[in-house]
Structure formats: structure tokens, C-alpha cells
Amino acid sequence: MSKAERFAVLAALWMSVGAAPAQTAEGTFITRSLTPETALTAARAALEHCRKAGYQVGVAVVDRAGLPQVFLRDRHAGAHTVELAIGKAWTAASFRIPTATLGTETQAGKEMSGIRTAPRVVAVGGGQAIESAGSVVGAIAVSGAPGGAADDACAKAGIQAIAEGLEF
């Protein structure tokens, strides 16, 4: 086979591979994740929102599996804020609902009250799932503001800061 013939065959093969549509094998699926830069933007916005309100907090952003991507702790935030913020973020990502909602749904006497005793579950306000294109891509949580509602407000400010870059 001459050089020209080999080149023609290789070019035809290359073009046929390049022209094939991208497909996912039936045994796999594609997931979305936050970039580290997006996670950091959300955490910074949540921290700044709490600072403006006079709160010293810890902020955690986790990926869809609940693994930490970013953690920020203000200078005077209590030591407890580290574990609680990460726990709230893990809980929001795992259950795919706000931690305040989980807290309400798992109160004593309710059918799902046993969930509160599961390891790592933090069922108090402050954790919010982050969604994009109908899927949970991570979660953000705040700990250290005076109460779950204040923690939630800061976490929501973090999501708002990245909302433009997420598909809804």
C-alpha cells in the first residue's frame, strides 16, 4: 500500500470516528458536579452574607456524594462549626432536601424519626442541596449563625451567587 493509500484509509477512519455521535453505554451514566471554583464562589458568598449580618460562621460545600470541596471558617467562628457545617452539607446532599425540612420530618413521634440517629445526619437548619438541570450537584451548609433560619439565609445567598452558572 502506498503512502497516499495509507493516508486515505487513515483519514477515512478518523473521519468516521469523529462523525459518530457521542453516546453513553447502557451500563453507565453521566453526572454533573460543581467545579472547585464554583464551590468556592458559593462558600465566599455565604460567608460574606453572614458577616454582613454580624455572624461568624463556618461554611461547607460538598459534591453530590457529600465529600467536601470547600470549607471556610471565619476568624471567630466556634470550633463546632467545622463538623456541623460539613455534617449539614453531607445531610443535604445525601437526602437531597434542606436540612431544616429533614429536621421537621424526623421529629420525635414521626415515622422517620429514626433517621436522626444515623451516623453523620445533622437534621437542623443550615444545609441546602444545590441543583442543576434537575439533579443534585452538591450542597452548601452554614453553621454558627444564631439559629437554623439564619444559617439557611446565608447558605441560600451562596446558592444565589452561583445560580447563573447552573442549569435549572
Is 20 within the bounds of a domain?
no
What residue numbers bound the domain in which 115 lies? Answer: 27-165
pTM, rounded to two decimals: 0.83
CATH number of residue 79's parent domain: 3.30.450.150
Q: Do residues 130 and 136 lie in contact, with contact meaning Cβ atoms separated by under 8 Å? A: yes
Ranges of the chain with pLDDT below 70: 1-24, 168
Q: Do residues 60 and 91 lie in contact, with contact meaning Cβ atoms separated by under 8 Å? A: no
- Quote the pLDDT of residue 4: 59
Q: Do residues 10 and 119 lie in contact, with contact meaning Cβ atoms separated by under 8 Å? A: no
Is 59 within the bounds of a domain?
yes
Total domain count, the chain: 1
Is 14 within the bounds of a domain?
no
pLDDT tens-digit profile of 63-73? 999 999 999 99
What is the C-alpha to C-alpha distance for residues 47 and 34, in angstroms, rounded to an integer? 18
- Quote the pLDDT of residue 24: 60
Is 48 within the bounds of a domain?
yes
Is 109 within the bounds of a domain?
yes
Q: Taking all residues of the chain, what is their mean pLDDT, rounded to a whole number?
A: 90
Is 5 within the bounds of a domain?
no
